[in-house]
Amino acid sequence: MDIAIVGTGYVGLTTGACLASMGHSVRCVDNDAGKIERLRRGDVPIFEVGLDDLVLATQHAGKLCFTANLAEGIRQAEIVFICVGTPTKDDGCVDLSFVEKAIDEIAPFIANSSVVVLKSTVPAGSARMIKARLARHDRYNPVASNPEFLREGSAVSDFFNPDRIIVGADEGAAAQTLSRLYGSFAARGVPVLTTSTVNAELCKYASNAFLALKIGFINEVADLCEQVDGDISEVSACVGHDKRIGGSFLSPGPGFGGSCFPKDARALVALGRRLGANQTLVERLVHSNEQRKKRLAHRILQELDKPSVSTVAILGTAFKAGTDDMREAAALTILPILLERGITIKAHDPQCSHTGAKLLPDVLWRDDPYAAVANADAAVVLTEPDYHSLDLRRVASLMRGDLLFDFRNHLNGDKVLAAGLRHLGIGRPCRLPSAPKGATAGDWRDIAAAPY
Ligand code: UGA
């Protein structure tokens, strides 16, 4: 099929490259001419596993091209995907101005038979609003909603292996065109669920909010575990084995972040308030997630003997492993609180140091985790990019102190203890080494009794 994608951000670019690799002819349009030039050279501006190879291969195969010329990009298209950003306004509502602008700009050039498909995450009713907006330009194209469920870091794999595809269509023509597009998925058993545009739009918010609720819930159970000498990993595994609950998104951590969960949860709350259908659970979740990040900063402060003269190493600053994205990352709440108390922070993240240096200029960014932990009183694992392969004895010998906060329960506790470090995870008892860091048999003391 002939496809145009308007907006070459993370969703647009991934969708475009994946559809092109399935044999469709895809033109990605963006009004940022510099970005288009970079993409033409195969220079993918985001870090996403497998995406750059896919962009290069599909460009070479003549299936994917990039243009800043909107008219040229959309004129022939059977489907025009709208993948522009939908940021949050100050009141938590979704700012639809980029979507509206895109619609006004495509209207003069779009073919009568083209189906306009909203992939941007938009509140319920947006597709119908877009339909009305097109009509103001004397355009009566079918409009559909086709939300995406791609996770950063595994977006390409998620595209090809979806749990389901949602086709929101109020008109037969839109439903038929999208059924054709996703025919090969249906043929291999992927459920392609057709519903109204409003239902599809709500489904995206409900899915993200529900997953975020699972995380928020397990985080609170983890807090409880800490009070009763429980172990959240075991509780979570036992709970998740119930098929009605499911084991995924039950890993505790420093609070969820990223460009989607916090923003979409706030948008659902704002929509509910505006329509008199309060989303009280999600409202509490947004609050408790923010509080959690602050509380963990205070937990670090509590454990340090003299915070104002301490050095803390932060390992992993992205909102999750496998990305270079720090939007709404726990690091953005925790690190400023520590900096305010006069703590020196040295941070390492395999992908984020460039972004991090701009967002947190007072942090000393290091290219190597061992350089980050050198002379640190405490080390904090905030994101889990492969730190389990760290040489923990080397870490311990480089550190001045012996506190290792593992806010992703990512490290092997026995190895942490064997290295002589205290292991402070989430939702499990603090574990103490059998001997202090660097101790010999002669100077062993019962550090379990030491106050901290
Ligand atoms: C999320 C959804 O998972 C995708 O389905 C959706 O398409 C996407 O938002 C979107 O709306 O575009 P993403 O934000 O990339 O994807 O990341 P997730 O893997 O969902 O993680 C979100 C946050 O939750 C991260 O901070 C992660 O560390 C945290 N998390 C996740 C946990 O703390 N515990 C878990 O068990 C899972």
User: What's the rounded mean pLDDT across residues 171-197?
Assistant: 97
Q: Which residue has the higher pLDDT, 430 or 51?
A: 51
In this prediction, residue 451 carries a pLDDT of 32
Q: Residue 132: which residues within 8 A CB-CB, separation 6 or more?
A: none
Atom of ligand 1 at shortest range from CA of 121: 11
User: What's the rounded mean pLDDT across residues 158-184?
Assistant: 97
In this prediction, residue 293 carries a pLDDT of 98
CB–CB of 259/325 below 8 Å?
yes
Q: How many residues does the chain have?
A: 452
Confidence of residue 330 (pLDDT cuts 50, 70, 90): very high
Which residue puts its alpha carbon closest to atom 7 of ligand 1? 149
CA–CA separation, 205 vs 183, rounded Å? 25
Q: In this prediction, what percent of the chain has a pLDDT beyond 70?
A: 96
In this prediction, residue 385 carries a pLDDT of 79
In this prediction, residue 105 carries a pLDDT of 96
CA–CA separation, 83 vs 6, rounded Å? 6
* Helix 97-106 / helix 126-136 crossing angle, nearest 10 deg: 40
b/e per residue 307-336 (b: at least 16 CB within 10 A):
beebbbbbbbbbbbbbbbbbbbbbbbbbbe
Write the DSSP symbol of residue 387: G
Whether residue 439 has pLDDT greater than 90 = no
User: What's the rounded mean pLDDT across residues 394-410?
Assistant: 97
C-alpha distances in Å from residue 48, one per residue of 45, 84, 108: 9, 18, 34
pTM for the structure as a whole? 0.93
Helix, strand and coil in the chain, % to nearest 5: 45, 15, 40
In this prediction, residue 92 carries a pLDDT of 82
Whether residue 444 has pLDDT greater than 50 = no
pLDDT, tens digit, for every residue of 307-317?
889 999 999 99
CA–CA separation, 380 vs 409, rounded Å? 11
Ligand 1 center from residue 219 Cα (angstroms): 14
Residue to mutate (ligand 1; options 208, 210, 286, 349; most atoms within 8 A of CB): 208
pLDDT, tens digit, for every residue of 186-197?
999 999 999 999
In this prediction, residue 442 carries a pLDDT of 37
pLDDT, tens digit, for every residue of 108-158?
999 999 999 999 999 999 999 999 999 999 999 999 999 999 999 999 999
Phi, psi of 406 (to 5 degrees): -115, 85
User: What's the rounded mean pLDDT across residues 20-34?
Assistant: 97
Find, among 122, 27, 117, 115, the residue nearest to 78 by Cα.
Answer: 115
Ligand 1 center from residue 151 Cα (angstroms): 6
Q: Which residue has the higher pLDDT, 432 or 178?
A: 178
CA–CA separation, 402 vs 417, rounded Å? 10
Ligand 1 center from residue 256 Cα (angstroms): 7
Whether residue 171 has pLDDT greater than 70 = yes
CB–CB of 63/26 below 8 Å?
yes
In this prediction, residue 438 carries a pLDDT of 63
pLDDT, tens digit, for every residue of 60-116?
999 999 999 999 999 999 999 999 999 989 888 899 999 999 999 999 999 999 999
Ligand 1 center from residue 287 Cα (angstroms): 18
Which residue puts its alpha carbon closest to atom 24 of ligand 1? 256
CA–CA separation, 181 vs 194, rounded Å? 13
Kindly list the protein residues whose Cβ atom lies closer than 6 A to any atom of ligand 1.
121, 148-152, 208, 211, 215, 249-251, 253, 256-258, 260-261, 319-320
Could you say which of 18, 83, 260, 352 is catalytic? 260
**In sequence order, what E strands does 232-377 have?**
311-315, 344-348, 364-365
